[in-house]
Amino acid sequence: MKKIGLSEFIASQDLDLYHKDGVPSANVAGTEAVLVKKGEAIPIIFIPLILRYNRNFISNLQYADGIPQLTKEQEEKYHVKFSIEKRPFGIPPIKYTAESLTIKANELGAENFKKWAESEFGTENIGRKKTVKAIIAEILKFEKARRIK
């Protein structure tokens, strides 16, 4: 049996781990057993699998907001990275409704409303030849598409 390097991670319980030629194995037949007692360092070859699938086996793994925290060196050494995509929660608020656009059209008048719509949404999206009602329908389609993204 060749010597296996130990990691900085400590076992939270007694572990029976198996490897064949330095590669972790779930199959017991034809493998070498490595017994790790609670409180002892876990061998390096098992750390990537334990970090991915059995983090409860490690007692000294730090968490922040439920996400394991590894240093850059540990991420490179074990080829494991934990990150969360930062996205705003919830649905964006409704900016325009049919009622608010109708009120705006009545306040500005048809021609000025069409100018405002072109400046707000671009001339390629809003055509001046359309009616106010058709322009409001287009704006509501843009609003719905923005909220779905």
The domain ranges of the chain are 6-78, 98-148
Position 145 scores a pLDDT of 80
Alpha-carbon distance of 91 to 18, in angstroms, equals 48
Its pTM stands at: 0.54
Question: Residues 89-133: pLDDT tens digits?
Answer: 666 677 888 999 999 999 999 889 988 888 888 877 787 788 889
Enumerate the β-bridge partners of residue 133. Answer: none
Indicate if the pLDDT at residue 2 is higher than 60. no
